[in-house]
Amino acid sequence: MTSCDKDCDKKRWDSSQLRKYDLGLEPIPRYHYQDPKVDELIKKNQPVLITGSKLVESALQKWSLEYLEKNLGKSGYTVYLSRNHKFKYFDEKKMLTKTNQKGVEFTPISKRVDMKVSDFMKRLKEWKRGEERIYLQQPLNSTVGPSIVEDYMKFDWPFVTSKKTKHNWGELTSNVLFISMEGNVTPCHYDEQQNLFAQIHGYKRCILFSPDQFEYLYPHPVYHPHDRQSMVDFERPDYARFPKFRNVRGVETVIEPGDVLYIPKYWWHHVESLMRGGPTITVNFWYKGGPTTLEYPLMDHQKVSIMRNVEKMLLEVLQDPKEVGPLLRSMVIGRYTEQ
Ligand SMILES: O=C(O)CCC(=O)C(=O)O
Ligand SMILES: [Fe+2]
């Protein structure tokens, strides 16, 4: 990764702003948006950092915190609160409640609240060490004000639509707006959609792992509220429990305003707003995967999808998440394992 420790015209960030992990990482390739290598990589479902595109140019200079506060509108926005710097996503529908007996007993470490943008911005500005950290994550919808609609319409839609068409993606499902405090971390997880991740303000470090790293990253069971998230805490890996994590291999980059990172579906990603780098603003473009043809040998993400379906089916027939593990163990241990 090109750090800006030295030899940079303008020192934008340095490696002391990156959190430290014991991981084997290579750089993510970066190419100008007109370089044919971009589409070669996307075709192969490989990540690529796309530079020089005009995708969110209409927002680049304009979308300051003040502008967004003034123009996002008065409705409530989804904000996560966390006691530490980690914002590990959880699916409330998978939590055990009176009306959901199939759910898992679980106490989330972060909270989801509805907040007016002005309250969020006030907390962001006045935040002091020791207070809960905050992270706004909300799909852009029709309640945003007219100026934001205008900026949005001026995004380079021909650019993203040509990617969608060329690579046979499905429909655009959402554009999530992320407004983060410096130092916030979205821990390692994968999504089931294609993602063009467009940086608008500040710097984010993105660490990605291929779907073939499944067994090194130990995802929570599918029925768990932390479905699609790694169980490994990158800062204090429990190697006794997750021994294969020592062998995980990934790629990384730091994105800056104007950069667009292609995060292929089922690729794991860990995202951190650089420490002491100020707040960050990102908009993603999430596209459905599109139709898949079953060609053999299967691709690694297709195997992950098969595993997800097996887990879902077992819960469906067993009706109790506690029974899924024992059944899988008695099916596999000693029969499909060496021991
Ligand atoms: O920017 C972040 O913190 C997380 C982004 C992410 O996970 C996504 O766009 O899928
Ligand atoms: Fe994600």
Q: pLDDT tens-digit profile of 179-234?
A: 999 999 999 999 999 999 999 999 999 999 999 999 999 999 999 999 999 999 99
In a mutational test of the pocket of ligand 1, which residue from 271, 286, 287 has the highest number of ligand atoms less than 8 Å from its CB? Answer: 271
> Each residue of 97-141: pLDDT tens digit?
889 888 899 988 899 999 999 999 999 999 999 999 999 999 999
Name which residue leads in pLDDT, 21 or 107.
21
Average pLDDT over residues 46-52: 98
In a mutational test of the pocket of ligand 1, which residue from 19, 133, 174, 186 has the highest number of ligand atoms less than 8 Å from its CB? Answer: 186
Within 6 A (CB) of ligand 1 lie 178, 186, 191, 195, 197, 269, 271, 282, 284
In a mutational test of the pocket of ligand 1, which residue from 282, 283, 285 has the highest number of ligand atoms less than 8 Å from its CB? Answer: 282
- Residue 10: band (very low, low, confident or very high) from pLDDT cuts 50, 70, 90: confident
Compute, in angstroms, the gap from residue 90 CA to the centroid of ligand 2: 12
- Residue 5: band (very low, low, confident or very high) from pLDDT cuts 50, 70, 90: low
Nearest atom of ligand 1 to the alpha carbon of 186: 3
Burial class (CB in 10 A: 0-12, 13-18, 19+), 320: exposed
Going from N- to C-terminal start, the domains of the chain cover: 21-287, 300-332
Compute, in angstroms, the gap from residue 271 CA to the centroid of ligand 2: 8
User: In one letter, which amino acid is 165?
Assistant: T
Cβ-Cβ contacts under 8 Å for 224 (sequence gap 6 or more): 94, 104, 106, 321
Let me know: does 175 contact 283? Beta carbons within 8 Å: yes
Nearest atom of ligand 1 to the alpha carbon of 176: 9
Average pLDDT over residues 135-151: 96
Nearest ligand atom owner, CA of 185? 1
Let me know: does 120 contact 130? Beta carbons within 8 Å: no
pLDDT value at 4 more than 70 = no
Q: Is the peptide bond before 297 cis (omega within 30 degrees of 0)?
A: yes
DSSP 52: S
What is the ipTM for the molecules in this complex?
0.99
- Residue 287: band (very low, low, confident or very high) from pLDDT cuts 50, 70, 90: very high
Residue written as token pair 């467009």: 198
Compute, in angstroms, the gap from residue 251 CA to the centroid of ligand 1: 16
Inter-axis angle of helices 324-332 and 300-318, to 10 degrees?
Answer: 120
pLDDT value at 7 more than 60 = no
Helix (H) or strand (E) holding 302, with range, is helix 300-318
Compute, in angstroms, the gap from residue 288 CA to the centroid of ligand 2: 14
What's the fold here for domain 21-287?
Jelly Rolls (2.60.120)
Closest residue by Cα to atom 8, ligand 1, is 284
Nearest atom of ligand 1 to the alpha carbon of 184: 3
